Amino acid sequence: MESLTLEIAAAAARMVVEEGLEYGPAKRRAIKQLGLPARTAMPDNLAVEAAVQEYIALFCADTQPQELRALRELALVWMQRFADFRPHLAGAVWRGTATRLSDILIQLFVDDPKSAELHLVNQGLRFDVQTVTGIHGKPVDMLTVQVPCPALSERVLVHLVVYDYDDLRGALKPDAQGRPLRGDAAALQKLLHDPTP
């Protein structure tokens, strides 16, 4: 059973790195691709993340560190633009598993949920709005902007997920391995200065 879980995680990891898929869709597609029943138990996200790290080390070690740095630098620019909204970086760019196909995920913790949208409008930026499931299982707005990333010579999606200010308290809990799930601009600057954990 454990070898099957590892096989699913490895297949999902390849899709995450090569196609930029999120973990959930990658796991479902891996199960289908491996010809397994739809009800097959999926590996948890930590197992997929470990497989992603292994895949990057084997196949992308020469390019991924520069791509990750470019995305982190761009994320910092956007966090500074939204400094009044208590921005926290999350996802693959924060965790260190991002490649040029990864999106930037910034979580905003605001007093007024519409203030982030207004901030984008005032800057003359076009954005899409959709509702996603937030960190506490409640629906939240996600504002998506497509922006240039000169260091990668391509455009990148920046997702700004809008949370209520009170959600920040529970959001700072670490994962099962004691690592922070997100970090503010100061934490990101520290990672850019010294990326080794």
CA nearest 120: which of 131, 111, 129? 129
Tell me the pLDDT of the chain averaged across its residues.
Answer: 93
Neighbouring-strand partners of residue 98: none
- Separation between Cα atoms, residue 112 and residue 98, nearest integer Å: 31
Q: pLDDT, tens digit, for every residue of 115-150?
A: 999 999 999 999 999 999 988 889 999 999 999 999
Q: What is the mean pLDDT of residues 17-46?
A: 93
pLDDT confidence band for 1 (50 / 70 / 90): low
- Separation between Cα atoms, residue 81 and residue 75, nearest integer Å: 10
Pair 102, 142 in one domain: yes
pLDDT confidence band for 153 (50 / 70 / 90): very high
Q: pLDDT, tens digit, for every residue of 85-106?
A: 999 999 999 999 999 999 999 9
Q: Residue 168: its pLDDT value, please?
A: 85
pLDDT confidence band for 196 (50 / 70 / 90): low
For strand 104-110 and strand 88-90, is the pairing parallel, antiparallel, or unpaired? antiparallel
Pair 148, 96 in one domain: yes
- Separation between Cα atoms, residue 181 and residue 130, nearest integer Å: 22
Q: Is the pLDDT of residue 170 over 80?
A: no
Last residue of one domain, picked from the residues 28, 59, 90? 59
Q: pLDDT, tens digit, for every residue of 63-78?
A: 999 999 999 999 999 9
pLDDT confidence band for 177 (50 / 70 / 90): confident
Last residue of one domain, picked from the residues 59, 76, 94? 59
For the chain, the domain total comes to 2
- Tell me which residue range forms the domain holding 32: 2-59
Pair 113, 157 in one domain: yes
Whether the model clears a pTM of 0.85, i.e. scores above it, the answer is yes
Pair 118, 181 in one domain: yes
Alpha-carbon Rg for the chain in angstroms = 17
